[in-house]
Amino acid sequence: MNETTTRAQAPISPQELFPDQQAGAETVAKFFRALGDPTRLRLLEFLLHAEHTVTECVEHVGLSQGRVSTHLACLADCGYVAARREGRRAYYRVADPRVADLVVLAHALAADNRAALACCDRIDAHHH
């Protein structure tokens, strides 16, 4: 992720970031779809405070190494996480500190809207 805003600056408007509103909406929707999977979200949360190896990520989420690697690759492709190699090991970490703010805000909004989300059938119906 490129740092388009800092905490000291006012946020940049969506129109400034994406003059083509349709392309901007599609890009941002794709960005959020990466968070739309509970396993990817759990992996991202696990990586918020420290970097971890794939093995540690596997132990944390309890899935096969292949599935975890696929999820980590998705998160990396979308710019959420970055990896560094040390010998045969890859260490994953959150690529941009703003991701932590996004995850905390998402949890707060989800908690505040828990009842409405529990009743919402439309998202799951469109997802499949």
- CB neighbour list of residue 85: distance below 8 Å, 6 or more residues apart: 91
Q: Model confidence over 1-28: pLDDT tens digits?
A: 555 545 556 678 888 888 889 999 999 9
Q: What mean pLDDT comes out for the span 56-62?
A: 98
- Residue 33 domain-assigned (yes or no): yes
Q: Give the total number of structural domains in the chain.
A: 1
- Residue 39 domain-assigned (yes or no): yes
Q: Model confidence over 26-49: pLDDT tens digits?
A: 999 998 998 999 999 999 999 999
Top pLDDT among 120 and 128 is at: 120
- Residue 13 domain-assigned (yes or no): no
Which amino acid, one-letter code, is at 76? A
CATH number of the CATH domain containing 67? 1.10.10.10
Domain extent, residue 34, equals 19-96
- The pLDDT of residue 54: 96
- Residue 89 domain-assigned (yes or no): yes
Q: What mean pLDDT comes out for the span 90-94?
A: 96
Give yes or no for residue 120 having a pLDDT over 90.
Answer: no
Helix (H, G, I), strand (E, B) or coil at 92: strand
Q: Please, are residues 52 and 60 in contact by the beta-carbon 8 Å criterion? A: yes
Q: Measured between alpha carbons, how far is residue 37 from residues 34, 59, 74 in Å?
A: 7, 18, 11
- Residue 121 domain-assigned (yes or no): no
- Residue 113 domain-assigned (yes or no): no
- Residue 56 domain-assigned (yes or no): yes
